[in-house]
Amino acid sequence: MSCIKMKYEVPGDDFTRAGEASSMVKRKLKQLGYNPDAIRRVAIAMYEGEINMVIHAGGGVAEVEVYPDRVEIALIDQGPGIADVEMAMQEGYSTAPDNVRSLGFGAGMGLPNIKKYTDAMRIDTEVGKGTTMYLTVKAK
């Protein structure tokens, strides 16, 4: 099965560039004539993941693999890790600092939104080492 691979650097602490990777992936999937609903869900999940890496992890890498029936995304950072994944998955729970909240982030909806808009989500995280999130969006 043919697969298109894309890789993006997500810069840390730069909110003016956050969202670039998800915008580029969205554009690329549109060019490919991909399923519109899947494009929308990929864009949302990736954007939230990017923002998380910018806020919490000093940036990271987004790897995207596009298959005819699904998109697989890996979001990889060497940040502080997530101490309590269960808490982080709850709507409204946030550890984002105040300066980030003033930009409109920190609603505690990042991970819940990612879960809501993907078909599969796995978080590998270790405190002090970093976090890798694997996401799958199926083209229904």
Partner 1 sequence: MTVEECAQKLSLRFLAGEEGAQTEISGGYVGDLLSWVMGRLEEGQAWITVMGNINAIAVATLKDASCIILTDEAPLDEDARRRAELEGVPVLVTDKNSYQTALALGQALL
Binding site for partner 1 (CB under 8 A): 15-16, 18-19, 22-23, 26, 40, 43-44, 47-48, 51, 103-110, 112-113, 116
DSSP state of 69: S
**What's the token pair of residue 83?**
């101490």
Listed residue (41, 39, 52, 65) closest to 10, CA to CA: 52
Q: How far is the CB of 46 from partner 1 (least distance, A)?
A: 9
Q: How far is the CB of 47 from partner 1 (least distance, A)?
A: 5
CB closer to partner 1 out of 8 and 47: 47
CA distance 24 to 21: 5
Q: Is 118 helix (H, G, I), strand (E, B) or coil?
A: coil
CB closer to partner 1 out of 2 and 16: 16
CB closer to partner 1 out of 17 and 70: 17
